[in-house]
Amino acid sequence: MRVAEVVGRVLHAHGARHVFGVVGSGNFHVTNALVAAGARFVAAAHEGGAASMADGYARTAGTVGLLSVHQGPGVTNALTGLTEAAKSRTPMVVLAPEATAPLSNFFIDLPALAAAVGADFHRVRATHAAEDAGAAYRAAARGATVVLGLPLEVQQAVTEAWSGPVPAAVPTPVSAPQVEPLLAALQAARRPVFIAGRGARAAREPLIRLADACGALLAVSAAAKGLFAGNPWNLDVAGGFATPLTAELIGAADLVVAWGSTLNMWTTRHGELIPASAVVVQVDHDPAAFGVNRPVDLTVAGEVSAVAEAVLAQLSVGATGAGGATTGGWRTPELARRIRDHCRWRTVPYQDEGGGAPATIDPRTLSAALDDLLPADRTVVVDSGNFMGYPSMWLDVPDVAGFCFTQAFQSVGLGLASALGAAVARPDRLTVAAVGDGGFVMSATELVTAVRLALPLLVVIYDDAAYGAEVHHFGPDGHPLETVTFPETDLAAIARGYGCDGLTARTVDDLAPVRQWLAGPRTRPLVVDAKVSAARGSWWLEEAFRGH
């Protein structure tokens, strides 16, 4: 059996069921080996799109994503999406053929490239192909983005046939987390707040039980939006996206516990959201994450769920002195009412800025109307740009798997392809891709892929005919803006050219065809070119520019 076939069989045996990519000579055989083993190959229009599809698939499915690309330019074309995945710690394996001869036009220093973007690097050897492929998959499953080097000459080498079984994973010995200092901090607190991040996405139930036991309020970083959906003490997203009430309550905390969150500048509003008087605790499985963004008073090493369960095992609500019901802490009926009525941006009053000639729609009004119109069982994928706070905070999601936030690298143009991967992962849900006009134009080629797959995908373009972040960053200082503003373009017509349904929306009434599309059969994507008002920057961007 050739090494390429062994790699494909091993990855499928470990659980790979979908692989995204663009096939060339270097990845032809390994991709076909995956398909022959039973995996589904999703052909993208461009390797950059394929990388984001694999990323969005892995985040939404909660499993390892696979990306297959050609050697050399196939790898470099995928680099931005790969960087986003690595920075997000997305479990993903990149099948990266290697032209190992430096004189080859396709030669690149693949290990150095992987290291430069924060990805792990593994290489397949002819005599250890099954072992190397399995090790790469298991490393990804533990939360790494892995570039798996497949030297061209090694792929063609004949090796011992492999048909399984997959060797059982040897569990890594884990010592019991040392939670006594955290327990004492919870016992002393009167106004505790939990902020859960990316590393807590699988820990909803133990964190809710612990919060109930100690009277904590619950918040999340943007990457974990939806984790506490439906809980009456959920403050939603902390940081720049926080509602005024959420910011007020976090600002009044005397204890903040960061669960799988590094409390970066966005989650903490450049450090000013958390009061200086609060005790700050960081819980993370990786000690290297402690204090990377701000000083903390206490650290606990361990998986989030394990730490929460260990604290619960020692915590007796009646004897803690924590801010729960036994001590008259801040979980009162009045606060529950305030959270219910004021912790969603939908409930914060604003002055509608739509209208004009030609007419535009306020992005808040647009987002609220869509939230009312779309089914609750949805996946929302958000691209980067001035607009991104509106779909992130006005479109509710049913759970943490329902929100895909492609912001670790802050690249414009990854949202559409990420949404395709999410739609493949969860065909039972409506997938909504929220993008700006700049990001849409960058990635529109992947509409071909969406049409080929007949995905029931809704693409909403927040179209301000500009790179809005730059307009609102530089415009107030009088800088010329001709390089970041553009003539109005009929993006719906472009979408129809790719085979999608398309409509232009300038008012809420213009969204009526969305209702008709939702009614079915939804055999092709619908693209809504929403001409949004752009008189000023989004609220979160205005706060960021003030350097809060």
Question: Is the preceding peptide bond at 165 cis, omega within 30 degrees of 0?
Answer: yes
Contacts of 440 (CB under 8 A, 6+ apart): 383, 416, 459, 461, 463, 491
Confidence label for 325 from pLDDT (cuts 50, 70 and 90): very low
Question: Is the preceding peptide bond at 358 cis, omega within 30 degrees of 0?
Answer: yes
Across residues 79-99, what is the average pLDDT?
97
Q: Is the pLDDT of residue 324 over 60?
A: no
Q: Are 295 and 274 in contact (CB under 8 A)?
A: no
Round to whole Å and give the CA distance between 244 and 235: 10
Q: How confident is the prediction for the chain on average, in pLDDT?
A: 93
- DSSP class of residue 173? P
Q: How far is CA 380 from CA 235, 244, 524, in A?
A: 19, 23, 18
pLDDT computed for residue 318 by the predictor: 43
pLDDT computed for residue 491 by the predictor: 98
pLDDT computed for residue 145 by the predictor: 98
pLDDT computed for residue 12 by the predictor: 97
Q: Is the pLDDT of residue 326 over 50?
A: no
Round to whole Å and give the CA distance between 142 and 124: 19
> What percentage of the chain reaches a pLDDT higher than 70?
97
Q: Are 5 and 35 in contact (CB under 8 A)?
A: no
Taking only the tens place, the pLDDT of each residue in 148-167 is 999 999 999 999 889 888 87
Across residues 47-52, what is the average pLDDT?
98
What is the torsion angle, in degrees rounded to the nearest 10, for the CA atoms of residue 70, residue 76, residue 82 and residue 83?
A: 170
pLDDT computed for residue 159 by the predictor: 92
Q: Is the pLDDT of residue 321 over 70?
A: no
Across residues 312-334, what is the average pLDDT?
66
pLDDT computed for residue 548 by the predictor: 40
Taking only the tens place, the pLDDT of each residue in 448-460 is 999 999 999 999 9
Strands (DSSP E) along 349-471, which ranges? Answer: 378-382, 403-405, 430-436, 457-463
From 72-86, 246-260, 464-478, the region with the lowest mean pLDDT: 464-478
More confident residue, 324 or 343: 343
pLDDT computed for residue 100 by the predictor: 87
Taking only the tens place, the pLDDT of each residue in 348-382 is 999 999 999 899 999 999 999 999 999 999 999 99
Element (H, E) at 423: helix 415-425
> What percentage of the chain reaches a pLDDT higher than 90?
86
Q: Is the pLDDT of residue 229 over 90?
A: yes
Confidence label for 545 from pLDDT (cuts 50, 70 and 90): low
Taking only the tens place, the pLDDT of each residue in 285-320 is 999 999 999 999 999 999 999 999 999 999 864 444
Confidence label for 541 from pLDDT (cuts 50, 70 and 90): confident
pLDDT computed for residue 327 by the predictor: 43
Helix and strand element counts for the chain (H, E): 23, 18
Taking only the tens place, the pLDDT of each residue in 373-408 is 999 999 999 999 999 999 999 999 999 999 999 999
Contacts of 434 (CB under 8 A, 6+ apart): 380, 381, 382, 383, 387, 388, 390, 391, 392, 395, 415, 460, 462
Confidence label for 144 from pLDDT (cuts 50, 70 and 90): very high
From 2-6, 479-483, 526-530, the region with the lowest mean pLDDT: 479-483
Q: Is the pLDDT of residue 54 over 90?
A: yes
pLDDT computed for residue 540 by the predictor: 76
pLDDT computed for residue 230 by the predictor: 96
Q: Is the pLDDT of residue 537 over 90?
A: no
Round to whole Å and give the CA distance between 156 and 35: 18
